[in-house]
Chain A
């Protein structure tokens, strides 16, 4: 097996790692944006009611 073929495994390993970690980061950050907006909306509704 040549060195070039070894690089394929290295590239695949880093690609998979970045994809999974990227997915975790995206999930946490997008959830934060969604929840912050929802909380703000509810607090505004409660403020108007008072």
Chain B
């Protein structure tokens, strides 16, 4: 582990991602292109839901990614608290806005799917819906902490602790449909007895999910690179200011 952490320094990360990023972006575009084409032109209308089933191809990947981003943040938070690794701190910070974005997509598309199918956009008594809304609020809380206590080790630690505490919402989201009677349907892909979705509808969903995951990774790597650039700029600016102060002092002497 120690060796891995030594390797994961910002300079090596920039060099590695220089090579990986174009491939990751191309994979996202190709997979999302194929997935969207299949979702609109190859998948038949559902016998109960009709055309609204097509919302599933954007709603479900967004739901998975909203949670995946939080898993990334939780792992990074452990890196911040246990190893105090600078890249872990940057990874935690940059994943939050992306996770919040995908969570918002999931909630909005879910409401738009719910209206024609359930007759309502929102149901406060539904455990899946409210626990997922709570995830968005946790993201907002973490982003707010980062905005107010940015660039300080204390801010990084507070955000990391908040992330670890908020992680308790992930199993609640996952198992809410099993623990309580919900308007939201139970799991239909990741089940012990296999998926309940017809193969003709399942494969485009998996392609979209893979494409969306590649998109998240592309954006996260780019945001991480931005964070490294931001810290380099801060260092250079500080050095320039100190240089000017030294020159003024020398002139005064």
Question: What residues make up the interface of A, taking CB atoms closer than 8 Å to B?
Answer: 1, 3, 5-7, 9-10, 12-14, 16-17, 20-21, 23-25, 27-29, 31-32, 35-36, 38-39, 42-43, 45-46, 49
Contact = CB atoms under 8 A, between A and B. Distances in A.
Contacts of A14: 55, 58
Interface of B: 45, 50-52, 54-55, 58-59, 62, 97-98, 101, 104-105, 108-109, 112-113, 115-116, 215, 219, 222-223, 225-226, 229-230, 232-233, 236-237, 239-240, 243
Chain B: interface secondary structure?
Answer: helix
A10 B57 CA distance: 10
Contacts of A21: 101, 105, 215
Contacts, number: 85
A9 B52 contact: yes
A3 to B, nearest CB: 6
Contacts of B243: 49
B116 A6 contact: yes
A29 B219 CA distance: 9
B240 A45 contact: yes
A9 B112 contact: yes
- What 9 pairs across the A-B complex have the smallest Cβ distances? A35-B229, A13-B109, A42-B236, A13-B112, A13-B55, A17-B58, A6-B51, A24-B101, A16-B108
Chain A: interface secondary structure?
Answer: helix
B95 to A, nearest CB: 12
Contacts of A23: 101
Contact of B97 (A5, A16, A24, A39): A24
Contacts of A39: 229, 232-233, 236
